[in-house]
Structure 1
Amino acid sequence: MKRILLAGESWMIRTTETKGVDEFTVCSYEEAGIELKAALRKAGYEVEHMPAHMVPTQFPETIEELQAYDLVILSDIGANSLQLAPDVFQHSIVGKNRIQTLSSWVQAGGALLMIGGYLSFTGFEAKANYAHTALADVLPVTMLTEDDRIERPEGVTPHVLHPEHPALGGAGDSWPRILGYNKVKIREGAELLAVAGDDQDPLVAVSQQGKGRSAVFTSDCAPHWAPPEFSQHWDGYDRLFAGLADWLTRQ
């Protein structure tokens, strides 16, 4: 059984409530990507989810560790979480450049999928910041250096350019609306499979990277950018992400 490492798709919430003259703080923890994990497991993959708060300490540091997986998915997890291990950030101890290692692993035959979100690509207030890392060299798109979010609260219907491409898994050419995505540009030599918005911005793109492969889905895999009509009620959702995983791992 092929193994997938999904990094990201979790967050912590700190809420302050004021009631008259009294105030207190409540903390909670949430995970997303439920639909994505279910789709991949249904397709026969073993999925290991590494929540965002675990990435700084547990994301693979070496090629050998990455070779335990057939595919790595980064979803709504910024570059800082991969780069700033506690020893580096808190104690100024030289450590591994895990993004460089991930990039080298892809070139050597690994597979990478980046899914959009507020902390994907360049992200909200440019905080995801992948444009200035080695990962920029192995994606099928180039990234902006400023906040790259395209918010479409009225909804935008994706346009599928190549519905027959195996990476789309037979999801067809009629997709539900999405509510936003990260704006990127297609890289020369990559295959652009689906677009969104007035500027026909890349939504799904794939590429060969040395001996490996990479792909992007620039919207989210879960709300809010992927509303229930896309991520929960559309029967093409499972086929789309299974197709991407199959294409990426079929070397």
Structure 2
Amino acid sequence: MSRVLIAGESWISQSTHIKGVDSFTTSAYVTGVEPLRRALEGRGHEVTHLPAHLVPEQFPGDAEALARYDVVILSDIGANSLQLSPEVFERGTPGADRIDALRGWVGDGGGLLMVGGYLSFTGFEGKAAYRNTALHEVLPVELLPEDDRVELPAGGRPSAVGTGHPALGGVTGEWPPLLGYNRVRPRPGAEVLATLGGDPLVAVAEYGAGRSAVFTSDCSPHWAPVAFCEQWDGYARVFGGLVEWLSR
């Protein structure tokens, strides 16, 4: 069993309704973590979810806090949310460098997985912004300097090229189509285990005494349709395999 922290995979949506000359707004809190949580808990892992709105205040800030976990998953949560705690952003006082702490924790033996989305890797309009952080060197891929999203509205089918690697969890056969991903470039020395559109979908690497991995599409809709994240038994194998490889 591994202790897994998933940071991100939640959002607040606000809609404006206009009816003639009148208008009003409604708000909703939404999570996309459930398919991934169920998949990992179904394999016996202990999962803690830190929603996106709590990341700025509560993400672990040092090696001692990170030591509570074996694997950290960053999913659809940008670098600003890790770097700009209320202490730093609202009060203008020095605080913990949580991305540097995360880098050091991986180098000392931790496991890091980044999952794709509009606020992963470089992200929508470059707002995820990991390319300019210390975490970039930890990842098994190199990030683009511009908006890296590739939308595949008609669906694109992944190709597994490293089916014998334990990080893919023994998955075999054809994968369901995905509807998009973040385009990245493989880093020298990394292993690309699956591709999408000719680009890395799953890649892994050693970093110091630790390990890092990426899944460059999403773990929930819209990029990961129901056929992928709810109906395909390979979903739990792939994400379970990644977590188990990362935690050795």
TM-score (norm 2): 0.99
Corresponding residue for residue 161 of structure 2:
161
1:79-135 residue CA offsets vs partner (Å, 9 max, x unmatched): 000000011111110111100110110001000000000000000000000000000
Question: What letter matches 1:192 in structure 2?
Answer: V
- The alignment status of 1:229 with 2:227, answered yes or no, reads yes
Corresponding residue for residue 37 of structure 1:
37
Q: 2:202 aligns with which of 177, 201, 204?
A: 204
TM-superposed deviation, 1:2: 2.2
Question: What letter matches 1:144 in structure 2?
Answer: L
Question: What letter matches 2:182 in structure 1?
Answer: N
- The alignment status of 1:112 with 2:109, answered yes or no, reads no
TM-superposed deviation, 1:8: 0.2
Q: What is the alpha-carbon distance in structure 2 between the residues aligned to residue 202 and residue 35 of structure 1? A: 22
Q: What is the alpha-carbon distance in structure 1 between the residues aligned to residue 131 and residue 107 of structure 2? A: 18
Equivalences for 1:49-64 in 2 at 5 Å? Answer: 49-64=49-64
Equivalent position SS for 1:91: coil
2:2·2:244 contact (CA, 8 Å) conserved in 1?
no
Q: What is the alpha-carbon distance in structure 2 between the residues aligned to residue 27 and residue 163 of structure 1? A: 43
Q: What is the alpha-carbon distance in structure 1 between the residues aligned to residue 28 and residue 202 of structure 2? A: 33
Corresponding residue for residue 90 of structure 2:
90
TM-superposed deviation, 1:173: 4.0
State the identity as a percent: 58
2:109·2:209 contact (CA, 8 Å) conserved in 1?
yes
1:163-219 residue CA offsets vs partner (Å, 9 max, x unmatched): 11110001114111101000000000111100111xx10000000100000000000
Q: Which runs of 5+ in 1 are unaligned?
A: none
Question: What letter matches 1:211 in structure 2?
Answer: A
Equivalences for 1:4-15 in 2 at 5 Å? Answer: 4-15=4-15
Q: What is the alpha-carbon distance in structure 1 between the residues aligned to residue 134 and residue 174 of structure 2? A: 35
Q: What is the alpha-carbon distance in structure 2 between the residues aligned to residue 173 and residue 161 of structure 1? A: 12
Corresponding residue for residue 244 of structure 1:
242
Equivalent position SS for 1:239: helix
Q: What is the alpha-carbon distance in structure 1 between the residues aligned to residue 17 and residue 87 of structure 2? A: 35
Equivalent position SS for 2:109: coil
Q: What is the alpha-carbon distance in structure 2 between the residues aligned to residue 232 and residue 244 of structure 1? A: 18
Corresponding residue for residue 131 of structure 2:
131
Q: What is the alpha-carbon distance in structure 2 between the residues aligned to residue 6 and residue 168 of structure 1? A: 19
TM-superposed deviation, 1:139: 0.5
TM-score (norm 1): 0.97
Q: What is the alpha-carbon distance in structure 1 between the residues aligned to residue 166 and residue 206 of structure 2? A: 14
Q: What is the alpha-carbon distance in structure 2 between the residues aligned to residue 33 and residue 82 of structure 1? A: 18
Greater Cα shift, 51-60 or 172-181: 172-181
1:159·1:173 contact (CA, 8 Å) conserved in 2?
no
Q: Which runs of 5+ in 2 are unaligned?
A: none
Corresponding residue for residue 147 of structure 1:
147
Moved over 2 A (4+): none
Corresponding residue for residue 213 of structure 2:
215
Equivalent position SS for 2:90: helix
